């Protein structure tokens, strides 16, 4: 198992894609650090990590707060010793409405979490990786980082930013052997699809727009994340893998 004993930090790890990713790494016998807003780890996730018999840790942190992110990384490195792989998964969708009706506060909140949060974690992770001379970052972007997404101005803008940050960091750190890639999921079964803004009719429209006529599963996205974090993708950096059931092939 090439990921055995690797230390993997996953933001937004308590649910959805983050949760599936944590479980996937634990089954590879990696040591998993789950980060999320809640004060405690999701009980179901904790139980499943126990079954996997792999070390895991949980820390609460708001990734949109630069100082809290800096303090978190310092705490992890001082107590656990290192970080080998950083998965930036924390993100929010924001409300669905036309741009003219989108409030400044809602726009800023999405950017704070989805862009600044990723930047703050990348910054701290890259400091550590540069000192160590190695490391891997996988950012969770979206097909919305490659397409327009009517009704989701802030979300689409934020995911375009994540794709851009991924490419830029990959170029800056390639000579050091530090790899930075992104996974861009299409419409996936997560809590985002169960928000109040996502009606039954809207879900049906999303499925109809997807050539495979179904939503993706969180575990399918997690498989791609693990691939990008593993030696199997050792010559890949600055790339965005799209998993969207054929949506962007149309």
pLDDT score of 11: 99
The catalytic position among 56, 102, 120, 155 is 155
Domain annotation for the chain: domains and CATH numbers: 7-186+218-240 (3.40.50.720)
Alpha-carbon distance of 84 to 43, in angstroms, equals 26
155: annotated active-site residue: yes
pLDDT tens readout for residues 22-66: 999 999 999 999 999 999 999 999 999 999 988 999 999 999 999
Confidence check: pLDDT of 195 > 90: no
Average pLDDT, the chain: 96
CB 88 within 8 A of CB 140: yes
CB 230 within 8 A of CB 6: no
CB 59 within 8 A of CB 33: yes
Tell me the average pLDDT across 165-181. 99
Count how many Cα atoms sit within 13 Å of the Cα of residue 159 in the half-sphere of its side chain.
27
pLDDT tens readout for residues 134-148: 999 999 999 999 999
């Amino acid at each position: 198992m090439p990921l055995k004993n690797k230390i993997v930090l996953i933001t937004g790890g308590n649910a959805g894609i983050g949760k599936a990713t944590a479980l996937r790494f634990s089954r590879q016998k990696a040591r998993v650090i789950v980060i999320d807003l809640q004060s405690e780890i999701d009980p179901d996730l904790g139980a499943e990590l126990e079954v996997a018999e792999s070390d895991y840790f949980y820390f609460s942190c708001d990734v949109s707060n630069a100082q809290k992110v800096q303090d978190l990384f310092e705490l992890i490195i001082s107590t656990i010793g290192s970080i080998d792989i950083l998965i930036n998964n924390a993100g929010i969708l924001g409300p669905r409405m036309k741009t003219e009706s989108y409030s400044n506060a809602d726009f800023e909140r999405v950017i704070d979490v989805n862009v600044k949060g990723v930047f703050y974690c990348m910054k701290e992770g890259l400091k550590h990786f540069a000192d160590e001379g190695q490391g891997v970052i996988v950012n969770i972007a979206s097909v919305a980082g490659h397409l327009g997404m009517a009704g989701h101005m802030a979300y689409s803008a934020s995911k375009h930013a994540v794709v851009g940050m991924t490419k830029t960091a990959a170029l800056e750190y390639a000579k050091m052997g530090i790899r930075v890639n992104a996974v861009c999921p299409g419409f996936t079964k997560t809590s985002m699809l169960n928000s109040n803004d996502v009606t039954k009719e809207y879900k049906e429209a999303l499925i109809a727009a997807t050539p495979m006529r179904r939503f993706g599963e969180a575990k399918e996205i997690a498989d791609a994340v693990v691939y990008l974090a593993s030696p199997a993708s050792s010559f890949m950096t600055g790339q965005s893998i799209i998993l969207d059931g054929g949506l962007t092939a149309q």
